[in-house]
Amino acid sequence: MPYITIATEDELSEAVGLRLVEDILPTFEVANMLRRGGNGYLKRKCLDFNRMALRHPVFLMTDLDDTQCASALINSWFGQVPKNANLIFRVAVREVESWLLADHQGMATLLERGANNITLNPDHLPDPKQYLLRCAKRAPRDVKNDLIRSKGALASQGLGYNSRLCSFVREIWAPEQASQRSDSLRRAVERLREVDQ
């Protein structure tokens, strides 16, 4: 059985990476899931991941955040170091939440609102996470309580944010459908498909 390693920023990105591998590379077994909270760890270890990809594919995912474009981010991490063909480095534009929002039918199911009320262009949102949180204000109470922070809380989201959205990724999210509305997700799906050839 072939192996793949998934390296991500956080719990939600890890759930997305795992779901993509399960759907697109079902014959692969995940050897490692590596994350340390934020892209600083990924940036420090990117050359190690590149070397690891000599042995088996490595799916490295990060958010674009405020960087101008994905190629600028990749160049700032790798400089002139050539990337191994088995390093699948993909950037969610602007955040992994945009990939979730791209499945507007699934998101409408989660939030119990009409799919036509979910953005058609999630990759163009300046802050997909904040957009999702605004949408969640009219969600059913249990979903709203998980996603939106309590008054006076320091976190930018609710305590159940990751668990609720990770569950959404596992049970509802449709990556193939979402890739039709997110160009950055479409490119990630296409790149993963190349590994299986």
Per-residue pLDDT of the chain (197 residues; tens, 9 = 90+): 899 999 999 999 999 999 999 999 999 999 999 998 889 999 999 999 999 999 999 999 999 999 999 999 999 999 999 999 999 999 999 999 999 999 999 999 999 988 888 999 999 999 999 999 999 999 999 999 999 998 878 888 999 999 999 999 999 999 999 999 999 999 999 999 999 65
Do 25 and 85 lie in one domain? The reply is yes
Is residue 35 within 8 Å of 8, Cβ to Cβ?
A: yes
Burial code (b: 16+ CB inside 10 Å, e: under 16) for 166-177 equals bebbeeebebee
Do 66 and 51 lie in one domain? The reply is yes
Do 12 and 42 lie in one domain? The reply is yes
Give the residue numbers spanning the domain of 117: 98-176
Do 54 and 110 lie in one domain? The reply is no
Do 84 and 162 lie in one domain? The reply is no
Do 50 and 107 lie in one domain? The reply is no
Do 77 and 107 lie in one domain? The reply is no
Do 115 and 145 lie in one domain? The reply is yes
For residues 189 and 65, give the distance between their C-alpha atoms in angstroms, rounded to a whole number.
20
List of residues 6+ apart from 184 with CB closer than 8 A: 64, 70, 90, 91, 92, 93, 98, 99, 123
pTM: 0.96
pLDDT at 136: 96
Q: Radius of gyration over alpha carbons of the chain, in Å?
A: 17
Do 56 and 132 lie in one domain? The reply is no
Do 104 and 153 lie in one domain? The reply is yes
Do 48 and 122 lie in one domain? The reply is no
DSSP state of 123: G
Q: How many domains does the chain have?
A: 2
Q: What is the dihedral of CA 179, 85, 12, 37, to 10 degrees?
A: -150
Instruction: State the residue for tokens 């300046």.
Output: 126
Do 118 and 89 lie in one domain? The reply is no
- Judged on CB neighbours under 10 Å (0-12, 13-18, 19+), 23 is middle
pLDDT at 88: 98
- Amino acid at the residue 25: L
